[in-house]
């Protein structure tokens, strides 16, 4: 099992960051995803993400912990050479207008693909968090 974790502090309130991330909707507004569709709300919600190259990612929101501002989702099917991808996103208040976002995942892959997948997810999480900060500014 491989693991990726990105921790970043951004200039945005924890509440605003949490509301945007935990809705499981509109990820294309702050990520490289071209379009997304979400059905349902809260745990059990399904999200379909369409990448600019036409690839499609199917995800399920497994759990939402509002009190601790943390949620978990999984990729059910996608273009990546991985299995058992589970991701956790956590938002922690630092001040009135700053928060720490921790975005991580665990997944299985063939040894040949592991380093590429780690770099891909690390880059993706960094871009999402940076873009979220810009959106909320």
Give the model's pLDDT for residue 53.
95
Q: How many domains does the chain have?
A: 1
Give the model's pLDDT for residue 5.
98
Give the model's pLDDT for residue 103.
98
Give the model's pLDDT for residue 12.
97
CA distance 120 to 102: 16
Percentage of the residues of the chain whose pLDDT score is greater than 70? 100
Task: Give per-residue pLDDT as tens, 92-134.
Answer: 999 889 999 999 999 999 999 999 999 999 999 999 999 999 9
What CATH number did the domain enclosing 82 receive? 3.30.530.20
Q: Which domain holds residue 63?
A: 2-136
């Amino acid at each position: 099992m491989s693991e990726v974790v990105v921790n970043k502090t951004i200039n945005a309130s924890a509440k605003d960051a949490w509301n945007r991330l935990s809705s499981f909707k509109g990820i294309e507004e702050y990520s490289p995803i071209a379009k997304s569709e979400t059905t349902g709300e809260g745990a059990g919600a399904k999200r379909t993400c369409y990448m600019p190259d036409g690839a499609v990612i199917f995800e399920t929101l497994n759990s939402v912990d509002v009190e601790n501002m943390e949620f978990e989702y999984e990729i059910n099917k996608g273009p990546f050479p991985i299995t058992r991808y589970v991701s956790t996103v956590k938002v922690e208040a630092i001040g009135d207008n700053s928060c720490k976002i921790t975005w991580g995942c665990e997944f299985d892959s063939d040894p040949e693909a592991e380093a590429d997948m780690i770099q891909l997810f690390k880059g993706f999480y960094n871009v999402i968090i940076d873009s979220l900060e810009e959106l909320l500014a």
